[in-house]
Amino acid sequence: MDVTGSGSDDTAMIRLTGVGKTYGDGTAAVQELDLVVPAGELLVLVGPSGCGKSTTLKMINRLIEPTSGTIEIDGRDVTHADPVELRRGIGYVIQQVGLFPHQTIETNVMTVPLLYGESKQTARERAHELMTLVGLEPETYAARYPHQLSGGQRQRVGVARALAADPPVLLMDEPFGAVDPVVRVRLQDEFLRLQRELGKTVVLVTHDIDEAVKMGDRVAVFEPGGRLAQVATPAELLARPADDYVADFVGSTTGLRRLAVTPIDRDQLESLDGVSTGDLAAAVEVGATLEEALAAMLRDDRAVVGVKDGATFLGVLTPGGVHRALRASLTD
């Protein structure tokens, strides 16, 4: 199995080769890390506390200097770049948000464009555009201060500020960890929507395997001591852990998690013949996951769910069809 998950050389936006970080007391935070992140991918780094995932993120923008190896962004070795200029071209979002408390929301988002020499008018227009993009209407929130916002709203401002310079790379360190579970799900969904629109190259750190498999195009699992255990798509990671460590980390509920990353399989749909429309849950789109299909059945208290493609009805999915689709996903 390809532990590094190396992507194509032609599409690599971020490349780490033999990267390591050892501190003065001999502690190895990251060891011989080879990792490639293709342009436009959302890669999630996940693992227990102290496994080197946040250290890896900070080495990419040189908040922490590597002791070995090379880090390239778009083909340029960033270990020889000016760190201040490097960071201006990389969006960075942290759990604590890091907003300037004495500045308005508008001014917080304007900070990076102003550093790049944009006029105040252009920076303000960009700030308003991004606030709207993350769901904070400028008319309501531009003149407010961070302490006047909820935790989830402050996190949205942090994302907007990170996007203000339109960076090709976005680094996110536990970005949704400081809010309650309901707000966290909303922020995750909102960010996935933004990512579909913007297509940034994103490296996101989390300790939560559920968040990792929901958010990531691929997931990189770190083990204690700063070693990379496996890189894979969420579906492959859940279906085929590379070793016992990954299997234990992913946990015993992989079957349930696989529901969230397995799309509805058209081959497992059945015809409407013999099924009363009264037995049908509200239809879901064919691009939905098995988890969404089951949720519709439970919500409407129905045994089967209709599946459609826009206005075209394709068939129905039964609990047996869900089981067959899961089994089929293991052999794909």
pLDDT for the residue 256: 75
What secondary structure letter does DSSP report for 37? E
pLDDT for the residue 6: 45
pLDDT for the residue 266: 86
pLDDT digits (tens, 9 = 90+) for 10-30: 466 999 999 999 998 989 999
Three-state SS string over 216-277 comes to CCEEEEEECCCEEEEEECHHHHHHCCCCHHHHHHHCCCHHHHHHHHCECCHHHCECCCCCCH
Q: d(Cα 40, Cα 169) in Å, to the nearest integer?
A: 9
Does residue 4 carry a pLDDT above 50?
no
pLDDT for the residue 93: 85
Does residue 83 carry a pLDDT above 90?
no
User: Is 0.85 topped by the overall pTM?
Assistant: no
Q: Which amino acid is at 230?
A: Q
Highest mean pLDDT among 14-23, 271-280, 304-313: 14-23
> Which pair of structure tokens corresponds to residue 162?
């990170």
Q: d(Cα 244, Cα 260) in Å, to the nearest integer?
A: 22
- Residue 138: CB partners within 8 Å, gap ≥ 6? 106, 127, 128, 131, 132
pLDDT digits (tens, 9 = 90+) for 115-146: 888 899 999 999 999 899 888 999 999 999 99
Residue 331: how many other CB atoms lie within 10 Å: 6
**Average model confidence (pLDDT) for the chain?**
87
pLDDT digits (tens, 9 = 90+) for 23-67: 989 899 999 999 999 999 999 999 998 899 999 999 999 999 999
pLDDT digits (tens, 9 = 90+) for 86-114: 887 888 888 766 788 899 999 999 988 88
Q: d(Cα 21, Cα 80) in Å, to the nearest integer?
A: 17
Quickly state the pLDDT bin for 2 (edges 50, 70, 90).
very low
pLDDT > 90: percent of the chain: 42
* Start-to-end C-alpha separation, the chain: 16
pLDDT for the residue 1: 35
- Residue 9: CB partners within 8 Å, gap ≥ 6? none
Quickly state the pLDDT bin for 329 (edges 50, 70, 90).
confident
pLDDT for the residue 11: 63
Domains of the chain: 12-259 (3.40.50.300), 263-331 (3.90.1280.20)
Does residue 224 carry a pLDDT above 80?
yes
* CB 164 within 8 Å of CB 126: yes
pLDDT digits (tens, 9 = 90+) for 239-274: 889 999 999 998 866 667 888 888 888 888 988 776
pLDDT for the residue 7: 45
